[in-house]
Amino acid sequence: SICQRISRMLGPPLRAHSIVGRGSAFCVTVPRSAEGAVAPAAPRAAPVQAGTLSGLRVLCVDNDPEILHGMRALLGRWQVDVATASTVDEALQTAQTHAPHVFLVDYHLHDRLDGLDCLDALQALQSTPFVGALLTADGRPEVQNAARERGYRLLTKPIRPASLRAFLAAHHQASSPPAA
């Protein structure tokens, strides 16, 4: 679904080739530009200001180690205290010792529970309500509705760092005590 969205943005059709047990390849064919034509450089994003999320504890749950590594790196740059888990049971155990403020959980965990049920299990461990976000490339309305009905934010993959930061900052400001 991520590749389909990229293909729709670019215009050309998406081709896919899969071999069971080996993986999938996706291809988008774009027209060759005129020789010598150079696209203007995209403006650089403003550097992220570190420190404003300092003290925020986040638990990321995903079965893909590369995603977890990327989340640790990104959130770490923002001085977020990050814990990660690759299984539901690991998430439940980590939640008890890490005491997260925010849970970021992938929908397709390929585990005994999906991401929504994992968030529900994590909520059952907490003595107070928490902020939970379901991360998914699954754009089906039933997934969106289920997340909303259960009180979780839905963040659609690929997640833009600015959107994730805004989501975390809004929660961090709401949960931080006022300055004296």
**Greater pLDDT, 53 or 1:** 53
Asked if residue 13 lies in contact with residue 4, where contact means CB atoms within 8 angstroms, the answer is no
Sign, CA torsion 92/93/99/102: negative
28 DSSP β-pair partners: 14
More confident residue, 4 or 156: 156
Peptide bond into 141 cis (omega under 30): no
Asked if residue 158 has a cis previous peptide bond (ω within 30° of 0), the answer is yes
Q: How many CA atoms lie within 13 A of 138 on its CB side?
A: 18
pTM of the model: 0.69
144-149 — which CB contacts under 8 Å span 24+ positions? 146/116, 147/116
Summarised one tens digit per residue, pLDDT across range 34-89 is 665 555 544 433 343 444 799 899 999 999 999 999 999 999 999 999 999 999 99
Q: Given this model, what pLDDT does residue 32 score?
A: 67
Q: Which residue has the tokens 């995903």?
A: 62
In the predicted structure, residue 28 carries a pLDDT above the cut 60:
yes
- Read off the pLDDT of residues 121-161 as tens digits, 9 standing for 90 and up: 999 988 877 899 999 998 899 999 999 999 999 999 888 99
pLDDT the model gives residue 33:
63
Amino acid identity, position 127: S
